[in-house]
Amino acid sequence: MNKETLKQVVEAILFSSDTPLTAKEIASFLEKDKKEVEEILEELKDDYKSKGVNLVSIAGGYQFLTNPNVYSFVAEFHKRESRQSFSRAALETLAIIAYRQPITAQEIAALRGVQSVSHILRNLLEKNLIKIAGKKDVIGKPSLYKTTRYFLETFGLNSLEDLPDLEEMGVEE
């Protein structure tokens, strides 16, 4: 396969994927060198800089996303019924998990100063924003929760290191 055909194939694979793909995943599927795929990804990023969609690095991979300059038009067109909105309690719970993961429900409830967070955890699990990451080795073996790759995608983060520092936000540990 020549370079131009490979570029078209990588572009088509990315367009057809609803999740970010890593250069390694693409290279493995196409049985190509990772470095060659990375070069093509960079070329595609350049090709799409001034288009209605951009190729961006997100959640450890690459994905085509709407150009921020035209997003409001696209959003209005689709009247995003599926836009996720979160209660304050859900956002607090999600933030605690993001910064303290892996963490148990009891630890989350204690940090929030509430009796239970089970209904919030259930909703966040259903939305695939968090997942069970095992069991804590204590009496009762409670589940440990952590964020998912979809969490990173939803909040436009490449990794958890992209979360703002708590000190910068005026939050004390």
Q: What fold, for 88-162? A: Arc Repressor Mutant, subunit A (1.10.10)
CB burial readout 74-99, b (16+ within 10 A) else e: eeeeeeeeeeeebeeebebbbebbbb
Q: What fold, for 3-77? A: Arc Repressor Mutant, subunit A (1.10.10)
**Residue 53: beta bridge partners?**
66
Q: Which of 166, 149, 145 is nearest to 157 (CA)?
A: 149
43-90 pLDDT tens trace: 999 999 999 999 999 999 999 999 999 988 887 776 554 556 788 999
Q: How confident is the prediction for the chain on average, in pLDDT?
A: 90
Domain boundaries, the chain: 3-77, 88-162
3-28 pLDDT tens trace: 999 999 999 999 999 899 999 999 99
CA atoms of 103 and 88, how far apart (whole Å): 19
